[in-house]
Structures are given as structure tokens and as C-alpha cells.
Structure 1
Amino acid sequence: MADTSFQVEIVSVEERLYSGEATFVIAQTTEGELGVLAHHEPLFGQLITGGAVAIEPVDGDRLAAAIRGGFLSVTGDKVTVLADGAEWASSLNEADVRRELDAAAEGSEEQAFAQGRLRALEYLAGH
């Protein structure tokens, strides 16, 4: 493993979404948005409902997923995302997600999930 990369695992209740080496991870926790590089200080955080995670794989394009809560664990050489639910941004249609957001009641879980999907699409686009 290169000195600037680390192991990343994203696991949801339904499946293992990702396992591989990355150089950067972004996640939204209850304490705020967090960026992780190699050799990050160990931490354990709670992911927000309706958040997103982005991964910069060593080989390949940026990946992003909408997350329905869960936990993030960071050690010196590994990041693990244990999500209550997750879906890849690449499987989402922005127009559909915006319609979901418009139809969702203010403060509802549906609104939070739609916001997380939009964040994942933004992460995928590199914003």
C-alpha cells in the first residue's frame, strides 16, 4: 500500500458496497463534514441521516454514495463506513431526486434522504 493511500470499506445492512484503496474520503458526520487522508488520527463518528460519502480511489474515478445514517471508523490505515443504507450516486437521476426533494415534507426523513442523494451527486461531480 502506498504511503498516501489507505484501505476503505463501505458496508450497508444489505451489502458490501466498496472495498479498496483510496487517497481521500469525505463523509458527513453529526459533527460536520470530514475529510480523511492517509495517517489520519483515529476517530469514530456518527454519520448523519441523509448524508453522503465520497471516495477518491487509487485507481479510477471518484465514487460517491448517499448514506442513510450509520457510523464511520478511522484508524491509521483504514476507513470503515457502516451505513444503515446506501446507494451509489451513479445510479441516481438528478431530476428525479429534485422532484423527490420538492415533494418531501419539511423536516421529514424523505427530505433528508433526498438531500443526501443530491450531496452524493455533487460529490460525484467534484463539488
Structure 2
Amino acid sequence: MNTLDLLLGMDEAKLKKPVKEVEIKRLSEITGQKTIFSIEAISPIKMEEIQDFAIDMKTKNINVGEMQILTVIEGIKDPNLKSKELMEKFQVYTPKDLIRKILLPGEILTLYNMIGELSGFDGGAVEEVKNS
């Protein structure tokens, strides 16, 4: 069976984005309970939007910190970082400000990398086929 036939016969409902639960250990220590975030892969369209938002229009360079924060905001499904109540609790106005207030830079980077891995950026998502 060729690849086209395989794709045509595939159950589209199985094309769900990978999800993972992760513990933010520092927050668990602060709250006294396991603080679990649910993260998921980012779609190609959302990744393009994030990259567009992270481009500095003057220099045409990508602001890596901005890209990381936007990716984390989109990749974290629970808790809802766009929650009005959560932003009010921490006296911030945007999800970006909330991330910066509750997470450390290393935690943001680690979550960014984990979301990237779920999104296929782990280096093992595509493999070259060697002809024998």
C-alpha cells in the first residue's frame, strides 16, 4: 500500500494534538500540593501566528523571549492563563504579564521546550528512510 492510500484510509479523528501533564515543582512547594499544568502541541497555523507576533518589525529579527512566552501561553491548556480571575488575583492585565509573574525564566524555557517537543520539534518526529 502506498502512502497516499494510507493517508486516504486514515481515521481523521486520530489526528489529535499530543497532550502531556507536567508538574511545576516550585509552585507545588509554594502551594503545598502538586501544581500540574496540562500542555499540548501547537498547530502549524498558531505557530506561524506566534512567529509573526514575535518579529521585531524594525530589525526583522525574532524576539526569542516573546516567542517563548507566546508559545507557553498557547501551549498551556490548564490552567487557563487567559482567565480574568487569575489575572485579577495576580494584579496583571495580560496573560504575558501573568506568565512573567508566576513562572521563572527557566520554567518558561522548559515549558517552551516541552511544548516544542509535543509539536514535533524533538528531532525524532521525522526520520530518513534508507534504501537497502
Q: Same fold (TM over 0.5)?
A: no
Considering fraction of residues, name the structure with more strand. 1
- Provide TM-score, normalisation by structure 2: 0.28
- Provide TM-score, normalisation by structure 1: 0.29
Which structure: larger Rg? 2
